[in-house]
Structure 1
Amino acid sequence: MSGWQHIPLPGADVDVWPQWLDAAEADALFGKLRQAIAWETHRIRLFGREVASPRLSCWIGDPGAAYTYSRSRFEPRPWPAVLAALRPRVEQACGARFNSMLANLYRDGNDTMGWHSDDEPELGARPVIASLSLGAERRFRFRRRRARGEPVQLGDTFELMLPHGSLLRMAGATQRLCRHDLPRMRNLAEARINLTFRHVDTAAH
């Protein structure tokens, strides 16, 4: 029986499965990934400057599934065995195929992800993106994309909590209509790992 819950974002297509993995499996996977992934600090462009991203990351994928983000090109590292086994399960749950994945390690509540959309050309016009959360429960926000100069309106931002073992699915026009972020959570000492599965058009390179 599916545990998907629809998120009411006008025009978007977002669902969350709060307990996609049970606690024991999520605990075991979190421990394995801390060791199996080659975590590194990516350099990104922010307000015209190159800075260290406020989290640890690793781009993983099939050969040729390179990804360009913030003017930096990332060549994929091979799938660790534990993620190669997990990928078909995520594909089945989401009804989509994935050839790559961005892994992020948020070491504590000071590590963040700023407002953005996953709308790079190589992801296509209506990408399906699956996001698996492990470890500390964190706030995750969506915000309607506004035209330049358009004032903020009540209801523009929607917030939910992503617990340990939860799976978030973003599809349709979500990336075109919304931005999302992971805000700072002060006094949070526990780490979180987030795995975002995508499909990169290798012919676009």
Structure 2
Amino acid sequence: MDQLDLFGAPEEETKTHFEIQNGEYIHIPGFFNKAKADKFFQSLLQNIEWKQESMNMYGKEIKFPRLTAWYGENDKPYSFSGITLNPNPWNKELLEIKEKIETEAEVTFNSVLLNRYRDGNDSISWHTDAEKELGKNPVIASVNFGAERKFQLKHIETGEKVELLLKHGSLLVMKGELQHYWKHQVPKTKAKVAERINLTFRVIK
């Protein structure tokens, strides 16, 4: 199997559980209904402390092509891509979202990384969520509000690809060995797209 194309996945209550080489994931396109998703999207736009982080590369300061924020219930920092983030305290909307997805993921999360993609030029390149703070075989729950964007997975050893269209109100739960064997990205697009907010809930050890 070279590539899975799941753009035709049905909406609303449909839940699909996929077991792939060295990992598994659950995809629920309509996890939050439109009314709830609209409410959360507007609230997150207005109430999250968004920042544009930057990193040093070859002696130059490079700004991330997206806005980010880090929230959690402890004082443990999270480091990735050469930066370290200290958590803001949970707000009402984040706790509401967290409580809802924990039932599905069967995990109690203590932190969330938010990424805000302002248009098609904003993106995140190939990476894994396998930092030491996340422990072995971390469960990552990804919630999406706003514009639909492609989400791609690529096996580090075989090159096998999986491609999903993550829609407004969708939930993606990545489990098992996936973070140790698969990279993922949200690529840039030349298509005219509106803003998108992605939340990846996780457990910091």
Hey, what does 1:149 align to over in structure 2? none
Quick check: 1:34 aligned with 2:45? Answer: yes
SS across alignment from 1:86: helix
Q: Give the deviation of 1:42 after TM superposition.
A: 1.2
SS across alignment from 2:199: strand
Q: What does residue range 98-113 of structure 1 map to in structure 2 within 5 Å?
A: 98-113=109-124
Q: Give the deviation of 1:141 after TM superposition.
A: 0.3
Q: Give the deviation of 1:52 after TM superposition.
A: 0.8
Hey, what does 1:117 align to over in structure 2? 128
2:109 partner letter: F
1:5 partner letter: T
CA distance 1:46–1:5, shift in 2 (3 Å) = farther
Quick check: 1:168 aligned with 2:156? Answer: no
CA distance 1:98–1:4, shift in 2 (3 Å) = same
Q: Give the deviation of 1:111 after TM superposition.
A: 0.4
Residues 65, 100 of structure 1: 8 Å contact kept = no
SS across alignment from 2:27: strand
Normalised by the length of structure 1, the TM-score is 0.89
Q: What does residue range 7-46 of structure 1 map to in structure 2 within 5 Å?
A: 7-46=18-57
Hey, what does 1:138 align to over in structure 2? 149
Hey, what does 2:9 align to over in structure 1? none
Q: Give the unaligned 5+ runs of structure 2.
A: 1-12
* Percent of aligned pairs sharing the same letter: 37
CA distance 1:32–1:45, shift in 2 (3 Å) = same
After TM superposition, the structure 1 stretch with the greater mean CA deviation from structure 2, 182-191 or 7-16, is 7-16
In the TM superposition, what whole-angstrom CA distance separates every residue of 1:92-149 from its partner, at most 9, and x where no partner exists?
A: 1110011000011100111001000000000001100000011101100000103xxx
Number of residue pairs the alignment of both structures matches: 193
Q: How far apart, CA to CA, are the structure 1 residues paired with 2:165 and 2:58?
A: 29
Normalised by the length of structure 2, the TM-score is 0.89
Q: How far apart, CA to CA, are the structure 1 residues paired with 2:57 and 2:177?
A: 25
2:74 to 59, 63, 74: 63
Q: CA RMSD in A?
A: 1.6
Q: Give the deviation of 1:49 after TM superposition.
A: 4.9
Q: Give the deviation of 1:11 after TM superposition.
A: 2.1
Q: How far apart, CA to CA, are the structure 2 residues paired with 1:61 and 1:48?
A: 32
Hey, what does 1:127 align to over in structure 2? 138
CA distance 1:121–1:54, shift in 2 (3 Å) = same
1:181 partner letter: Q
SS across alignment from 2:20: coil
Residues 127, 199 of structure 1: 8 Å contact kept = yes
